[in-house]
Amino acid sequence: MKFKKINLKSLFIKLSIFIVSLLLLFTLLELSLRLLGKKWQQGRPDYMSEETIAKHDKIVACFGDSYTVGGLGTKDLSYPGILNKMTASDNTAVLNLGICESNSSQVLEAIENYTAANNPEAIVLLVGAANKYNFYGMKKINFYQKLRIYKMYQIMKLSVENRFLKKQIVKSFSETPNTGYYLSNDIEKIFSDAMQIDKTHGTLHMANYYISRKNDRLPMQSSFVSAGNKKVKAMIEDLSEQEKKKILVDIVHIYAFIGDKAKAEQYYRLAKKYNPEQAKEMFVFYCLDNADMNEKEKLKAFNDFIAENPYEGYCNIINYYLNKTVFIKDKAEKERRLKLAKNYLDKIIRLEPENRRTYEIMLSFYRENGEFEKAQELYETKFLEEGITTRFKNFYYRMAYYLIYYGKFGEAVEYFLKAFEQNPRLDLHCYYYFSKAFDLQNKYDAKYVLNKFEEISKKYPDLQNNTSFNTCKESFKNRERFEEDILEWLQADIEKIIDICRKKDIKLIIQNYPFPYHAVNNLLRQTAEKNNIIFIDNYSVFEKIAEEDGYDKYFLDFDHCTPEGHRIIADNVYAALAENKVIRK
């Protein structure tokens, strides 16, 4: 056997070229990102050149994260931008020196660098929320952490995580069945013995076994599907008319539930022959959403119903249009479905406004339409007070899942906690999504969750044996310890900023966040009070006005402010600046 001699020199050259080209690529990327960042910064409406700044008597520098930058989509109307216009008469320039996702260490670094070369009259600070996920500076800062490529990687990672969670949520609503039956070779024997005792029901169990195995991802899946279907067909043919009447509708169910749309439809037609009344009812209630019929056919089936009972018929049509609408990607289709559902909803409200079913459908409508507040209100007034029906016992969970889908992680945590309070005996999956949602939000801290868990433990003493609940609780204890470290780190950084400002005789104004980042907001307040620093309590102001005027008026996404929100922060800062004689009114 001949071996080709490896030329080490050539290999070394190739490898060197490869490494150099890789380094070159990363350098180019880093440079491009830095250039792009600078260009973006200069293109901002509130950007001021050195010459413009020099024309002013005083400078107020605003440092912080995306809140200071202007959040998502409102950069031209950031609070420093608005403040700059307000202080123009006093010839004071307000600079927006915020950088998205900056944590306290990065802001400290920025303040150190800025005050080394400049002498602002005052510094306005709004920082701390990003410390939860941006750990730059928490420990020793590595070289790579300062790179833009690293920052880009972190943003991409977070985005991928969000998308992944969203996909998982969608998947969890279209769960395929899975069976442990095939782990026993005796199952077929057991069911065939059951058929000897009661042919109809034994056959049903056997059919269920054959049908469900197809989704078991077995290597022989494809061959089993046809074999299983043939066996089911043969078993049914063997039944008497009376027996067929009993089980055909159930067979439709099984096929519909496992998502074999064509088979569900085929057996529905057969079931209709033997048991027309029940088949129609079952078809409408259970199979329609899964069966792959076209809309015209489905509506025809509903029309039969409407002729007999308009209210029930309309209810079914609405259910059909609302089914998992929230996950429909095609925006036009989603709107069309919701619009049609709304039309029929109006009809049932006119027909039977006080019927409990009407409320149920209204609740589904609000939920699928993303009107979560309305849905919750209706649920709490019409369902919780009158006792929960089985159908809606998992309302809070479902809402939490939907909220994760919408990227509203803070709210999702809130709903999960309500759900746990209602019934904490859940599979690990619910706790998994809860933990994931918690990690992607800033509204609640681990301490809050642990307190809730303690309350739940007291309410349900037997929970001490529940592994899912206890595992989750344990993980939150770890989180709590970690959050304490983060808060300590934040406090140390803020105290360093206070020192810098004192040494350079710069007035420092610390604000808290308008959004309920409870732990961070409390720490900012305490640190300011302890060090006798001017403090602006944005949260208290926003809590009050958001309750009066609605959340959407002041918050754009799930935490950042709208232009109106920024205007209010600007007003607050302006008042503090005037009060402390930084500016003249």
Q: Compute the half-sphere exposure of residue 375: CA atoms within 13 Å on the CB side of its CA.
A: 21
- Calculate helix-pair angle for 199-213, 187-197, nearest 10 degrees: 160
Look-up of token digits 């746990």 = 420
User: Is residue 160 involved in binding another protein (CB under 8 A)?
Assistant: no
Please select the residue that binds another protein; options are 4, 39, 196, 353, rule is CB under 8 A.
196
- Among residue numbers 341 through 370, which ones bind another protein (CB under 8 A)? none
* Closer residue to another protein, CB minimum distance, 208 or 562: 208
Report how far residue 429's alpha carbon sits from residue 559's, in angstroms, rounded to the nearest whole number: 26
Report how far residue 323's alpha carbon sits from residue 300's, in angstroms, rounded to the nearest whole number: 18
- Among residue numbers 551 through 580, which ones bind another protein (CB under 8 A)? none
Please select the residue that binds another protein; options are 12, 173, 482, 551, rule is CB under 8 A.
173
Tell me the window of 103-111, 334-342, 428-436, 485-493 that interacts with another protein (CB under 8 A): 428-436
Tell me the window of 44-52, 153-161, 179-187, 304-312 that interacts with another protein (CB under 8 A): 179-187
* Closer residue to another protein, CB minimum distance, 50 or 427: 427
* Closer residue to another protein, CB minimum distance, 288 or 523: 288
- Among residue numbers 503 through 562, which ones bind another protein (CB under 8 A)? none
- Among residue numbers 245 through 274, which ones bind another protein (CB under 8 A)? 257-258
Rounded least distance, CB 518 to another protein, Å: 29
Rounded least distance, CB 476 to another protein, Å: 19
* Closer residue to another protein, CB minimum distance, 274 or 574: 274
Rounded least distance, CB 546 to another protein, Å: 32
Long-range contacts of 385-394, Cβ-Cβ distance < 8 Å, separation of 24 or more = 386/356, 388/422, 389/356, 389/360, 391/360, 392/360, 392/363, 393/422, 393/423, 394/419
Helices (H), 531-562: 538-549, 551-554
SS3 category, 313: helix
Tell me the window of 14-22, 260-268, 314-322, 370-378 that interacts with another protein (CB under 8 A): 14-22
Please select the residue that binds another protein; options are 181, 224, 372, 406, rule is CB under 8 A.
181
SS3 category, 574: helix
Please select the residue that binds another protein; options are 8, 117, 197, 307, rule is CB under 8 A.
197
534 strand-pairing partners = 509
- For 451-490, list the strands marked E by DSSP: none
Rounded least distance, CB 189 to another protein, Å: 8
- For 65-161, list the strands marked E by DSSP: 92-96, 122-126
Rounded least distance, CB 155 to another protein, Å: 17
User: Is residue 6 involved in binding another protein (CB under 8 A)?
Assistant: no
Tell me the window of 78-86, 180-188, 476-484, 569-577 that interacts with another protein (CB under 8 A): 180-188
* Closer residue to another protein, CB minimum distance, 252 or 583: 252
Tell me the window of 89-97, 145-153, 178-186, 293-301 that interacts with another protein (CB under 8 A): 178-186
Q: SS3 string of 377-410?
A: HHHHHHHHCCCCCHHHCCHHHHHHHHHHHCCCHH
User: Is residue 14 involved in binding another protein (CB under 8 A)?
Assistant: yes
User: Is residue 219 involved in binding another protein (CB under 8 A)?
Assistant: yes
User: Is residue 442 involved in binding another protein (CB under 8 A)?
Assistant: no
Binding mask 18-47 for another protein (x = CB under 8 A): x--xx--x----------------------
Long-range contacts of 243-249, Cβ-Cβ distance < 8 Å, separation of 24 or more = 243/199, 243/200, 243/203, 244/274, 244/275, 245/274, 245/275, 246/200, 247/200, 247/201, 247/203, 247/204, 247/207, 248/274, 248/275, 248/279, 249/275, 249/278, 249/279, 249/282
Please choose, from the candidates 546, 540, 574, the residue with its C-alpha nearest in 3D space to the C-alpha of residue 562.
Answer: 546
Rounded least distance, CB 197 to another protein, Å: 5
Tell me the window of 54-62, 169-177, 332-340, 342-350 that interacts with another protein (CB under 8 A): 169-177
* DSSP 8-state symbol, 198: -
- Among residue numbers 388 through 427, which ones bind another protein (CB under 8 A)? 394, 397-398, 427
Rounded least distance, CB 252 to another protein, Å: 14
Report how far residue 197's alpha carbon sits from residue 25's, in angstroms, rounded to the nearest whole number: 74
User: Is residue 152 involved in binding another protein (CB under 8 A)?
Assistant: no
User: Is residue 465 involved in binding another protein (CB under 8 A)?
Assistant: no
User: Is residue 198 involved in binding another protein (CB under 8 A)?
Assistant: yes
Report how far residue 261's alpha carbon sits from residue 369's, in angstroms, rounded to the nearest whole number: 26
Burial 327-356 (b: 16+ CB within 10 A, else e): ebeeeeebeebbebbeebbebbbeeeeeee
Query: Residues near 556 by Cβ (< 8 Å), separated by ≥ 6?
Result: 71, 72, 73, 74, 562, 565
Using CA atoms of 410, 384, 288, 204 in order, give the dihedral in degrees to the nearest 10: 110
Rounded least distance, CB 179 to another protein, Å: 4
Burial 214-251 (b: 16+ CB within 10 A, else e): bbbeeeeeeebbeebbebbbebbeebeeebbbbbbbbb
User: Is residue 372 involved in binding another protein (CB under 8 A)?
Assistant: no
Rounded least distance, CB 254 to another protein, Å: 9
SS3 category, 33: helix
Please select the residue that binds another protein; options are 67, 79, 136, 191, rule is CB under 8 A.
191
* Closer residue to another protein, CB minimum distance, 257 or 574: 257
Contact residues toward another protein (CB under 8 A) are 14, 17-18, 21-22, 25, 172-173, 175-181, 183-187, 189-191, 193-194, 196-198, 201-202, 205, 208-209, 212, 217-219, 257-258, 394, 397-398, 427-430
